[in-house]
């Protein structure tokens, strides 16, 4: 069964979150999988493990508590947010493999734009070398655990929820956005973690172009 792709465009976070929950609660064994691609107004979202001390100064940006995994992150204009709504039991793979496939989709999207994305053990999401994002050399292990983000910027954040083997929430890829709101939080719960986007590292891509590529890669890599 193929994944139905829906480009929602700019939408507020809360109604989209509610719609994902409703879709997942109502789906049956015959409901087609879906991929929702959208862009949100500025919002901080807290995961189940989220700690209030990781948000310093939200000012006018709302903070929404969610049921996804992970800590706090920021969504805003210029970021492609993708929500795969997948029946993992039907797809035939488990949560760990699902996360790997989403990360691989982001890595392949970055390759399309000439950028090398990296995984960091124990820290879901995708990172790039800030000094040379186009270098294809593999990351070497840090000398100390506290150095694992040294020289890296997070370009894609991931947070998921699985209910009755069905997924919602998803992944956010930073394309060309105002990164200032990240300075008001510990992104994903990591103090001092730098965030970046395609624009900052020298890639000129429109939101739609990045959304189209990421959507294609997710459909390909999340297939059963």
Each residue's pLDDT, cut to its tens digit, for the chain (224 residues) gives 789 999 999 999 999 999 999 999 999 999 999 999 999 999 999 999 899 999 999 999 999 999 999 999 999 999 999 999 999 999 999 999 999 999 999 999 999 999 999 999 889 999 999 999 999 888 887 766 667 888 999 999 999 999 999 999 999 999 999 999 999 999 988 888 999 999 999 999 999 999 999 999 999 999 99
For 53, phi and psi rounded to 5 degrees? -70, -10
Does domain 4-221 fall under CATH 3.40.50.720? My reply is no
Just list the catalytic residues: 188
Q: What pLDDT is recorded for position 145?
A: 65
Calpha distance 70→66 (Å, rounded): 10
Q: What pLDDT is recorded for position 191?
A: 87
Residues near 61 by beta carbon (within 8 Å), at least 6 away in sequence: 42, 43, 44, 74, 181, 184
**CA angle, residues 141, 109, 27, in degrees to nearest 5:** 105
Q: Are 170 and 81 in contact (CB under 8 A)?
A: yes
Please choose, from the candidates 46, 76, 54, the residue with its C-alpha nearest in 3D space to the C-alpha of residue 169: 46
């Amino acid at each position: 069964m193929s994944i139905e792709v829906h480009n929602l465009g700019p939408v507020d976070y809360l109604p989209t979150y509610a719609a994902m929950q409703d879709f997942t609660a109502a789906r049956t064994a015959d409901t087609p999988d879906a991929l929702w691609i959208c862009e949100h107004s500025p919002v901080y979202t807290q995961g189940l493990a989220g700690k209030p001390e990781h948000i310093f100064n939200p000012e006018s940006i709302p903070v929404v508590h969610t049921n996804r995994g992970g800590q706090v992150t920021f969504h805003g204009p210029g970021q492609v947010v993708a929500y795969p709504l997948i029946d993992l039991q039907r797809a035939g793979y488990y949560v760990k493999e699902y996360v790997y496939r989403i990360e691989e989709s982001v890595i392949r999207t970055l390759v399309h734009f000439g950028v090398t994305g990296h995984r960091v053990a124990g820290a879901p999401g995708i990172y790039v070398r800030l000094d040379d994002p186009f270098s294809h050399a593999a990351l070497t292990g840090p000398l100390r655990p506290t150095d694992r983000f040294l020289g890296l910027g997070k370009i894609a954040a991931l947070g998921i929820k699985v209910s009755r083997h069905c997924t919602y929430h998803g992944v956010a890829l930073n394309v060309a956005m105002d990164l200032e709101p990240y300075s008001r939080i510990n992104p994903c719960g990591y103090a001092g973690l730098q965030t970046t986007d395609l624009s900052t590292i020298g890639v000129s891509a429109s939101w739609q172009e990045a959304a189209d590529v990421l959507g294609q890669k997710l459909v390909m890599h999340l297939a059963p």
